[in-house]
Amino acid sequence: MIPYIEPELTSVTNFYLEDYMTDEDLEQLVSLIEEGFDQEAFDLFINEYMISPSIKFQDLMSDYLGMVETGPMREKDKDALSRNITLMNLGLSAVLLNNFSKYLNSSYSKNIFEGSGITDAMTKKAILVEVETVYEQLLSGSLSRTQSFILSSLRTMQRELIAENLLLKNSKLTGEAIENEIIRFKNSLRIKYPEIYKAINKGNVLVTSRFIDGAESIRHYKLDYYIDLVTRTAILDVDRNSNMISALASGERVVNFYLSDPRQVKKDREICQEILATLTLGESILALDAEAASILGIMTVDEAKSTPDYSFGPYCRHSVKRCSAEYIKQINDLLGAKNGN
């Protein structure tokens, strides 16, 4: 028989206490931003206040799953562990959303709005609310699927262990024979449930889902990788959206495409490299309307977003900014000339 286990649970009460960004923490980041160290502040925010709590949750869930596969649990212990997992998941969501909102509404967005020329308070609020809402929806959906995966894995492993114990009881095996059967059984679980063991051994606890050509695609990630990915994308969207809105409001038909985040990546998107390599009057630009794109022989922002490889998607390092007044004048002359004006 495989001995029953009593899970050792981590207390929920103070688990994330040190991960919440305080006003003093925010002041330090703001000081960096105001001194011109925007990228350093951004990286510090991501690493300390988003990735750090994510790794804590990830490691704890890996430990729980590793514990679950060692032996069956009684119902009261399974219920207690399930509650703990649910509360830890809710706690992570709360700390990430708190920290994201604080940083988003700090001097980071203030600098972005000043740089893009947006002064209207309602427009600023609309941009921030949109980014925050999309981020919350993305985060809550992913963490919900992650929780479901962890709880389902718990139930699956426990069901297998209880069934195996029943088989062992009926088999009348003893001594070395029963030990060998337990080893064989546990090895079979590793083959049968590879995703659970990737979560145990590699930390791939986070689950994402999307539909490709009508079929659902499920992927498992390390949580810290995913949080880094979606947070950087969301924060950069403030910059992208602000500059596009400001350009459109000023009647400008193109925006400059440039490298915004200098972090190292294994390979840049091909679509981004194509945009950078396509120069119009010496600049890499995207059009804000289809007519301008057709005349200039460039992509629109929407095309760049929707073309396979997805510029501005997760882990894209590029953004857009308004072009200089002199450059816009040259573009307008070019558009006018090709329209026959």
| pLDDT digits 0-9 by tens, 228-240 | 988 988 999 999 9
For residue 300, the SS3 value is strand
Question: Is 0.85 topped by the overall pTM?
Answer: yes
Looking at the 3D structure of the chain, how many domains does it have? 2
Please give the single-letter amino acid code of residue 317: R
Same-domain check for residues 168 and 213: yes
Please give the single-letter amino acid code of residue 35: E
For residue 22, the SS3 value is coil
Q: Which domain holds residue 292?
A: 251-338
Same-domain check for residues 183 and 288: no
In whole angstroms, what is the distance from residue 341 CA to residue 325 CA? 20
Q: Per the domain annotation, does 241 fall within a domain?
A: no
Q: What is the pLDDT of residues 101-117, one digit of tens each?
A: 999 998 889 989 998 99
Same-domain check for residues 149 and 43: yes
Same-domain check for residues 82 and 136: yes
Same-domain check for residues 193 and 108: yes
Same-domain check for residues 151 and 41: yes
Scored b (16 or more CB within 10 A) or e, 237-271 reads bbbbbbbbbbbeeeebbbbbbeebbeeeeeeebeb
Same-domain check for residues 285 and 167: no
Same-domain check for residues 88 and 189: yes
What percentage of the chain has pLDDT greater than the value 90?
72
Q: Per the domain annotation, does 306 fall within a domain?
A: yes
Taking alpha carbons only, the member of 97, 101, 119, 98 closest to residue 110 is 119
Same-domain check for residues 135 and 273: no
In whole angstroms, what is the distance from residue 101 CA to residue 108 CA? 11
Q: Per the domain annotation, does 5 fall within a domain?
A: no
Please report which confidence band the pLDDT of residue 30 belongs to, taking 50, 70 and 90 as the band edges.
very high
Q: Per the domain annotation, does 244 fall within a domain?
A: no
Same-domain check for residues 186 and 294: no
Tokens found for residue 78? 């399974």
Please give the single-letter amino acid code of residue 188: S
